[in-house]
């Protein structure tokens, strides 16, 4: 549906590109889309749809509502494409849109959702996953037996108990891969504040998951812990 809307709004053919679309930056894709290349919008959606949905779902706690907000996010990307200027990173811009929409539609809600411990941390140089961030650095790397379901449930409960501002920063950092500077721009605070919220979030999560402090999860195990997609 989004692609059909994009084509109808632009009404222009695909322009020639010197570089394959999947090798272009988000910013260049937006400029290409504004110039009439609908294929550029397809690449943007494929890159950001899943992490945006996870962030929105964790924020609003309702799958149907999250899907509606996600649609609205991309509709706004379409709406403002002609006026888009790459003065800030695309991810910062689009997550600011998503965050503001979540705030606008916020109400009392439950936060039942799915996350993956194996989702990479975007462009961070260390490339650690959430499982690695929460694991004890001195723990043995040998596989251990544990109740994966219980661990997953405890992690979900721990995330739900975080203050909203800490959970928001944690989600943007760990699941969406934004850098501290980008998160600061998206949420409207200074970088030290973002780092402080992240530090407190990690401390709280480690406290809730103290029973698992001696466990070290390899890639296969973290994939098994991840909540299955529906």
Q: How far is CA 55 from the centre of its chain?
A: 5
How far is Cα 97 from Cα 71, in angstroms, rounded to an integer? 12
Q: Tell me, yes or no, if the pTM score tops 0.95.
A: no
Average pLDDT over the chain, rounded to whole?
75
- The yes-or-no verdict on residue 225 having pLDDT over 50 is no
User: So where are the chain's domains?
Assistant: 2-104, 130-225
For residue 39, name the pLDDT band (cuts at 50, 70, 90): very high
Q: Which one, of 54, 70, 78, 95, lies nearest residue 185 by Cα?
A: 95
Q: What is the mean pLDDT of residues 12-23?
A: 63
CATH architecture, domain 2-104: Orthogonal Bundle (1.10)
User: What's the CATH number of domain 130-225, 3.40.640.10, 3.10.450.50, 1.10.10.10, 1.20.1050.90?
Assistant: 1.10.10.10
**Packing angle of the helix pair 38-60, 26-34 (nearest 10 deg):** 120
How far is Cα 192 from Cα 180, in angstroms, rounded to an integer? 9
For residue 217, name the pLDDT band (cuts at 50, 70, 90): very low
Half-sphere exposure of 51 (CA within 13 A, CB side): 21
- The yes-or-no verdict on residue 230 having pLDDT over 60 is no
């Amino acid at each position: 549906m989004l692609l059909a809307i994009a084509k109808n709004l632009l009404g222009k053919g695909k322009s020639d590109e010197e570089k394959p679309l999947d090798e272009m930056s988000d910013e260049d894709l937006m400029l290409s889309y504004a110039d009439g290349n609908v294929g550029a919008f397809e690449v943007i959606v494929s890159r950001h749809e899943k992490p945006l949905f996870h962030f929105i779902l964790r924020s609003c706690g309702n799958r149907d509502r999250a899907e509606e907000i996600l649609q609205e996010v991309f509709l706004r990307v379409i709406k403002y494409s002609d006026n888009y200027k790459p003065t800030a990173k695309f991810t910062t811009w689009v997550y600011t849109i998503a965050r503001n929409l979540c705030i606008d539609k916020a109400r009392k809600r439950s936060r039942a959702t799915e996350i993956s411990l194996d989702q990479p941390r975007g462009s961070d140089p260390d490339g650690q996953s959430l499982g690695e961030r929460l694991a004890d650095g001195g723990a043995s790397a040998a596989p251990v037996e544990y109740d994966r379901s219980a661990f997953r449930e405890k992690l979900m409960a721990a995330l739900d108990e975080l203050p909203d501002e800490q959970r928001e920063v944690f989600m943007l950092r760990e699941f969406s891969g934004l850098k501290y500077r980008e998160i600061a721009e998206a949420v409207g605070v200074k970088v030290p504040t973002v780092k402080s919220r992240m530090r407190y979030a990690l401390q709280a999560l480690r406290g809730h998951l103290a029973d698992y402090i001696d466990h070290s999860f390899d890639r296969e195990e973290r994939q098994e812990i991840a909540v299955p997609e529906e």
